[in-house]
Chain A
Amino acid sequence: MTIILGISAYYHESSACLVSDEQGILGYLKEESITRVKGDNSFPLLAIKDIFNCSRISPSQVDKVVFYERPLSSFLGPIRLSAKYFPRSLELITNQFTKAFQGPLALSSDLTKVDACLASKLIYIDHHLSHLYTALAQLTNPSSVCGVVVDGYGDHACTSIYAVENLRQIRLLWQSKLPDSIGLFYSAITDYLGFEVNEGEYKVMGLAAYGIPEFQERLTKLIRFEDGNIKLNMEYFMFQESLTQSYSENVKDLLGIPPREPGQFLSTDDDLFQSYANLACSAQALVENLLVQLFRFARDLSGYNSFVFCGGVAMNSASIKKIVSELNPISFTISWSPGDAGSSIGAAFWALLKYGQDKLELPLLGDPFISTQYPIPTPLSEEFDSQTGLRKISSTQDSLATVAALIAEGKVVATCVGKAEIGPRALGHRSLLCDGSSHTAVTYMNEIVKGRTSFRPTAPATTLGKALALYSIDQRLLNSYRVMGATVAVPSDSPAYTYPTTHIDKTARLQIVDEPSLLASILELCGPDVPVLANTSFNISSDPTVSSHIDAVAACLLMGIEYILVDDGLYQVCQ
């Protein structure tokens, strides 16, 4: 048996993945699941230790440790860019140097903290290839497909196009390098809108639905796709020279609206709300156009009209509908975990193909519920329950019927069941659920329990049969709807048109639930009165999605959630 440890770390959410050619995925964890610090990019020491403990594999049994990018390349890329803006970029470069050994250059020494034997087994893969292999791990027959990777920046590239003949024959056809990045453009707009870069991009996407593309023409001065090249006009950006700001002062002159104060709550009643919504809409429309052009270019280069899409920009679910309708591909697969957190899976998959025996069953990723589950404290003990204010109201057998009854009554129920989801969306195992057709229930869950702004949509989850009746479904995106990877249009004659889970632009970030699954059972027990569930991630605002039962109980106490479904039954939480 060949065992590989994949690692993604130091820039965005770090993670680790342990795989073997005989048993597939042995464990996967994000470091943030343990530390509870959202977007934790530390070396995933705690995640690796927990994966080893839970899978009962020792470090000495590992054949290779594969890192998701090439450390020197990822270190040098931004420094080379910033050097062009020296001396204005002095502070940024000095910062990069002083932190050099807290990043990937410290990888070997960090690995020895797990076990000294691991550092000698270290190998590397190109960053965009690790993204690509994560998406390919979902396919049963990954061949004759064009791979498109779009992210901010990783290793030495921002965008890559690959021709995938098969898993062991992959040609790089084209690459866009720093600073010419669609992801960095979107992040700069995120920053301008006062949201946190690498965290608030999905808020921009939600806000976009409230606006009109008033600034789209002006934004084309910032980024263009011309003659087969993405080009950023650096007069409008600052990420190459500033530690704290992504856009330059020229953006203010161009747009005529001030940047929004960072970190402040944005309300639909704010004076400049409509202007900011228009800016978000313009950026979103521009990115969608750029992606359509890029995919056309990729199709021409590769000769394939089947795609896999990965990298952080693939999380832009609102853009997928347009790409697919314009290109009319044979198939279109979005990575279930398109960001860096998923790359440890792709890196490990590549190494397994390279060094393992030919025993691997495909797909490596059969479903998105693969995160390592903590063995403690399941079940929650009686003494703990009484001390914490938990009351068990039904056991495993009849808990789903009670959950369905509560949801039908308009209640919100939290779930912390089985293995957690790998990607950015909660798909039922770490979710807050309520009746997706009830305005009262959804508003309560969205604004009171989660404390979100009203402009952010809540996703509907339903079965394929009901989805076909309620939404405009594109059969080529069925695999993506499993993970809310693409939005759907809601026809005006559909009952879902007026559901609170339908966004203001009459689209929905639909989840089609697997059958059988937890959510499918709940939907069936709910009956026709609850055609869709509203499904949002179970987390305290700005924290990672809950991982263990302890996190889940704490979140219930903090958010005022009354009911929680865990592996051994349904509990009521007395506040």
Chain B
Amino acid sequence: MGISTAKSIRSSDLGYALIETAYAEYGSAIEMIAAARAATGPKLRSGYLRHAVDEYNHVKSLLKILTIEANSAPAKVKTIPRFTRSKAYIKGYLEKNALLVDVKSTKHFVEFVYSNELLAKESFERLLESLTSPESKQILLGIMDDELRHHSYAEKYYLSSYTTHQLRLAFASERAKNRIRNLIAANKVLLDRLFYPLSVLFTAAALFVLNMLPERQSSLDNHFEAHPTSIL
């Protein structure tokens, strides 16, 4: 599962695409571990835990695919970026201070899992076409099987409590959100370029003002008594 996996697949650099996908899978692993901690029933807790384990393994597998492809198709893998877990926040695969299981109801959380597992599987189909090595294709097919399994578990659980109609609606809504996210991501570079002169201007002005602020000086005899409300 990955909320923005599709955007990465469109990238011409396979290295970048694989790393982005690994971040998406890592984000899912974190969300699933949190869901397992929060689950009240043992069956659901165990299901989320197994799901989290699969997602962690997917991260490992995607990084392995990256190494294989870098050796077998160096022309397609232009960069091998470092996989730094905290970047999952910067890239939007995780939200600071807001684990999904805390902000969504159980119903919406399961809808989210159901939809995104299917969307992820679809985007992996596109990724599969870009791979050259039979070994990496085999690994990715294994991940795709897992995604389908997670999707069907979520569906089974959901249908025991809610209706099919709501599930289809939820899927359509997630797909639309995903497309909007991809559109924003695709245009972010352009927006950044447009706003760059403005941010430079702001930076220069702010620097001018900040340079006028006094440097912190301390002449205290006893630092235990340092001013408790000063932010400088």
Residues of A that sit less than 8 Å from B by CB? 34-43, 45-46, 66, 70-73, 76, 79-80, 83, 86, 90, 93-94, 97-98, 110, 113, 123-126, 129, 156, 162, 167-172, 196, 262-263, 350-351, 353-354, 374, 376-377, 381-384, 387-388, 540, 542-543, 548, 550-551, 553-554, 557-558
Contacts and interface: CB of A to CB of B under 8 A. Distances in A.
Given A73-B231, A550-B49, A554-B52, A172 B218 contact: yes
A526 B223 CA distance: 50
Interface in B78-117: 80-86, 88-89, 94, 96-97, 99, 102
B228 A354 contact: yes
Nearest to B228: A123
B232 A129 contact: no
Contact of B36 (A79, A93, A170, A554): A554
A170 B223 contact: yes
B226 interface: yes
Given A263-B80, A354-B224, A554-B49, A42 B88 contact: no
B97 A387 contact: no
B222 A171 contact: yes
Nearest to A66: B228
A36 B33 contact: yes
A93 B203 contact: yes
B230 interface: yes
B199 interface: yes
Contact of A37 (B37, B53, B88): B88
A70 B231 CA distance: 5
A542 to B, nearest CB: 6
Main secondary structure of the interface of B (DSSP, over half): helix
A156 B216 CA distance: 8
B203 A94 contact: yes
A124 B230 contact: yes
Contacts of A94: 199-200, 203
B81 to A, nearest CB: 8
A90 B94 contact: no
A126 B220 CA distance: 12
Interface in B53-76: 53, 56-57
Contacts of A557: 49-50, 53
Given A42-B89, A94-B203, A551-B33, A73 B232 contact: yes
A234 B46 CA distance: 54
B213 interface: yes
A113 B103 CA distance: 13
B43 interface: yes
Contact of B203 (A97, A126, A543): A97
B84 A196 contact: yes
B50 to A, nearest CB: 7
B99 A168 contact: no
A441 to B, nearest CB: 24
B37 A172 contact: no
B86 A41 contact: yes
Nearest to A160: B223
7 contacts: A36-B34, A38-B85, A38-B86, A70-B230, A94-B200, A171-B223, A540-B56
B181 interface: no
A126 to B, nearest CB: 6
Given A35-B34, A350-B224, 17 more contacts: A40-B86, A46-B97, A46-B102, A72-B232, A73-B232, A97-B202, A113-B97, A123-B229, A124-B228, A262-B82, A263-B83, A353-B224, A381-B42, A383-B42, A550-B37, A550-B49, A554-B56
Interface stretch (B151-159, B161-169, B172-180, B204-212): B204-212
B94 A72 contact: no
B137 interface: no
B37 A558 contact: no
A34 B30 CA distance: 10
Contacts of A42: 89, 96-97
A384 B226 contact: no
Interface of B: 30, 33-34, 36-37, 42-43, 45-47, 49-50, 52-53, 56-57, 80-86, 88-89, 94, 96-97, 99, 102, 199-200, 202-203, 206-207, 210-211, 213, 215-216, 218, 220-224, 226, 228-232
A169 B224 contact: yes
A550 B36 contact: yes
Contact of A376 (B37, B52, B80, B84): B37
Given A98-B199, A383-B43, A543-B85, A169 B226 contact: no
B50 A388 contact: yes
A195 B215 CA distance: 34
Nearest to A544: B85
A550 B230 contact: no
A93 B37 CA distance: 40
Given A37-B85, A80-B210, A263-B83, A550 B33 contact: yes
B223 to A, nearest CB: 5
Contacts of B96: 42-43
A387 B42 contact: yes
Given A263-B83, A558-B56, A36 B30 contact: yes
Contacts of B206: 97
Nearest to A98: B199
Tell me which of B45, B80, B229 has the highest count of chain A C-beta atoms within 10 A of its own C-beta. B45
A129 B226 CA distance: 10
Contact of A384 (B45, B203, B207, B213): B45
Nearest to B43: A387
Contacts of B80: 263
A439 B19 CA distance: 36
User: What 3 A-B pairs are tightest by C-beta distance, nearest first?
Assistant: A387-B46, A263-B82, A384-B42
A554 B53 contact: yes
Contacts of A169: 222, 224
A558 to B, nearest CB: 5
A97 to B, nearest CB: 6
A43 B224 CA distance: 26
Contact of A43 (B97, B102, B202, B222): B97
A2 B194 CA distance: 53
A550 B42 CA distance: 11
Given A172-B223, A196-B84, A354-B228, A554 B33 contact: yes
A196 B224 contact: no
Contacts of A171: 221-223
A162 B223 contact: yes
Contacts of B36: 550, 554
Nearest to A155: B216
Nearest to B27: A37
A72 B231 contact: yes
A39 B96 CA distance: 13
A39 to B, nearest CB: 6
A190 to B, nearest CB: 13
A214 B20 CA distance: 40
Nearest to B35: A550
Tell me which of B85, B210, B213 has the highest count of chain A C-beta atoms within 10 A of its own C-beta. B85
